[in-house]
């Protein structure tokens, strides 16, 4: 029986991971930056300009959103450390997307390197 680690390792062998050093360029060149973490993780902080679609809903949201349906979109994905993003990238390749990259090390590596983060502001209830 395969473990989650086995599935991530297999996915990483088939996808393109972009290094942290090359991430800013890849993100600038991308048509869409996707955060595939859960909603609470996204709300706690995310990469500026990221669109949130949790890993569990990814295929459904892409299929149901005309602006994201073009298979030649340049897509960069990330999650917390890279596992979910690798699985998501593999799913996008399986769906026929051509230009898919996953951020190696994910959000944690981005934040640890001191790159900018976005945090939604909450309304004041004074």
3-state secondary structure 67-99: HHCCCCCEEEEECCCCHHHHHHHHHHHHCCCCE
The tens place of each residue's pLDDT in the chain, 126 residues long, gives: 999 999 999 999 999 999 999 999 999 999 999 999 999 999 999 999 999 999 999 999 999 999 999 999 999 999 999 999 999 999 999 999 999 999 999 999 999 999 999 987 766 676
pTM: 0.92
41 Cβ contact list (under 8 Å, min separation 6): 35, 80, 107
The catalytic residue positions are 79
- CATH 3.40.50.150 for domain 4-112, yes or no, is no
């Amino acid at each position: 029986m395969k473990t989650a680690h086995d599935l991530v390792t297999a996915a990483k062998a088939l996808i393109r991971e972009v290094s942290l050093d090359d991430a800013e360029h890849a993100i600038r060149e991308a048509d869409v930056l996707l955060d595939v973490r859960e909603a609470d993780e996204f709300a706690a902080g995310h990469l500026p300009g990221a669109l949130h679609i949790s890993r569990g809903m990814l295929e459904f949201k892409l299929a149901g959103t005309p602006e994201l349906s073009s298979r030649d979109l340049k897509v960069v994905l990330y999650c917390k450390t890279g596992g979910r993003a690798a699985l998501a990238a593999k799913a996008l390749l399986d769906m026929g997307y051509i230009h898919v990259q996953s951020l190696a090390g994910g959000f944690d590596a981005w934040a640890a390197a001191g790159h900018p983060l976005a945090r939604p502001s909450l309304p004041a209830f004074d």
